[in-house]
């Protein structure tokens, strides 16, 4: 049994003080927003959940984006130090993909995400599944019979928008990669920041090529899709040629909310072979309650 932990949207606090010139972009809007929401994303909540996660000793950890808030250069350095400082094995034990908050300004003008590159690279075992165009996404990492497929839906957008898109190239490349992994009987776990199906969030916050991506998933299949972005626990599914695909969204791992679905939490997936040779998945959520306790909730996947 392989145990995969999934968390998302840590929105690492505290926010370093921005220099004035760093606010000459979408960041100015984000900074005002963050000031309004800063008491919601709490470092102590995240620290408590991470201590619990480490005690659960998962085999691997996946993080689906929004590590930072307004993409300040110093935030990327802080997030890298946070990843390295977890003490659970660094890039060998943690996989990261970016979210929209990690891409407030174009990647080329803000090389911040490069600070996390060791956490977003194909591992040696997966070299033969690399993007045919040599692009950073999609990337594949293999851990025994488990394959993580990392996608990036993170794009700079206009102020007030939190949308994303994969783009034609990523969508064209990921289908054959899913097929090749499926042909070798890997358990294919897709990581994407935005909820991947049409209608899972508003247009302003949504994945703008969700229909095209849904069609790729339906044609090529996957065993599990993990996402974040909505700051809400979500479980959906999609009928695919290779069977039902559970689609699970984790809430923010730092949000202190009174709404049960928005409480800070992370998910644990137990992945193993069933009697018929197919994959069996069991899901548990570890949820922070407002008293500072972490309680476990077993979840039914829609299969």
Instruction: State the residues that interact with Fe ion by CB under 5 A.
Output: 9, 66, 99-100, 229
| Nearer to Fe ion among residue 11 and residue 188 (C-beta) | 11
**Residue burial 111-121, b: 16+ Cβ < 10 Å; e: rest:** ebbebbeebbb
143 vs 288, beta carbon nearer Fe ion: 288
What minimum distance in Å lies between the beta carbon of 205 and Fe ion?
Answer: 8
H helices of the chain, in order, are 26-37, 43-56, 73-85, 168-183, 210-220
d(CA 132, CA 77): 30
Report the residue number, 103 or 222, with the smaller CB distance to Fe ion.
103
Of 12 and 224, the one with the shorter C-beta distance to Fe ion is 12
Sheet holding 146-150, edge to edge: 139-143, 146-150, 187-191, 224-227, 243-249, 234-240
Least distance in angstroms from the C-beta of 158 to Fe ion = 15
Cβ(98)–Cβ(112) below 8 Å: no
Would you say 153 or 285 has its CB closer to Fe ion?
A: 153
Which residue is at the shortest CB distance from Fe ion? 66
Q: How far is the CB of 297 from Fe ion (least distance, A)?
A: 22
Q: How many CA atoms lie within 13 A of 179 on its CB side?
A: 8
Q: How far is the CB of 142 from Fe ion (least distance, A)?
A: 27
- To Fe ion, the closest distance from the beta carbon of 300 in angstroms equals 26
DSSP E strands in 68-138: the ranges are: 94-97
In angstroms, the CA 79 to CA 77 distance is: 5
CA-atom Rg of the chain in angstroms? 18
Write down the least CB distance from residue 66 to Fe ion, Å: 3
**CB-wise, 140 or 192, nearer to Fe ion?**
192
Question: Cβ closer to Fe ion: 157 or 285?
Answer: 157
Shortest distance, position 192 Cβ to Fe ion, whole Å:
11
Q: Is 35 exposed, middle or buried (0-12, 13-18, 19+ CB in 10 A)?
A: exposed
Rounded least distance, CB 67 to Fe ion, Å: 9
**Close Cβ partners of 25 (under 8 Å, ≥ 6 residues apart):** 104, 105
- At what angle are helices 168-183 and 210-220 packed, to 10 degrees? 20
Which CB, 18 or 195, lies closer to Fe ion? 195
Question: What does the alpha-carbon distance between residue 96 and residue 146 come to, in Å, rounded to a whole number?
Answer: 16
């Amino acid at each position: 049994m392989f145990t995969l932990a999934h968390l998302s949207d840590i929105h690492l606090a505290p926010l370093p003080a921005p220099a004035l010139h760093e606010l000459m972009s979408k960041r100015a809007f984000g900074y005002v927003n963050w000031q309004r929401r800063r008491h919601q994303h709490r470092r102590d909540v995240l620290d408590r959940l991470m201590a619990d996660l480490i005690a659960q000793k998962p085999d691997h950890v996946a993080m689906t984006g929004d590590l930072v808030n307004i993409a300040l250069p110093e935030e990327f350095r802080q997030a890298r130090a946070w990843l390295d400082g977890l003490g659970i094995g660094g890039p060998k034990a943690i996989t990261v993909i970016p979210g929209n908050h990690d891409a407030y300004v174009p990647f080329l003008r803000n090389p911040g995400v490069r600070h996390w590159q060791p956490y977003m690279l194909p591992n040696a075992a997966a070299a033969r599944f690399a993007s045919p165009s040599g692009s950073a996404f999609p990337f594949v990492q293999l851990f025994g019979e488990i394959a993580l497929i990392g996608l990036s839906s993170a794009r700079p957008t206009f102020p007030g928008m939190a949308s994303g898109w994969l783009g034609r190239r990523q969508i064209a490349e990921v289908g054959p990669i899913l097929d090749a992994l499926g042909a070798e009987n890997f358990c294919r776990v897709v990581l994407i920041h935005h909820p991947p199906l049409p209608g899972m969030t508003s247009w302003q916050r949504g994945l703008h090529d969700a229909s095209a991506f849904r069609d790729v998933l339906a044609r090529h299949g996957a065993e599990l899709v993990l996402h974040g972005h909505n700051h809400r626990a979500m479980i959906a599914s999609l009928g695919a040629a290779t069977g039902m695909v559970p689609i699970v969204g984790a809430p923010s791992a730092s949000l202190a909310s009174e709404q049960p679905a928005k409480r800070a939490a992370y998910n644990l997936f137990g992945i193993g072979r069933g009697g018929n040779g197919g994959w069996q998945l069991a899901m548990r959520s570890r949820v922070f309650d407002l008293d500072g306790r972490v309680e476990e909730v077993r979840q039914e996947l829609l299969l």
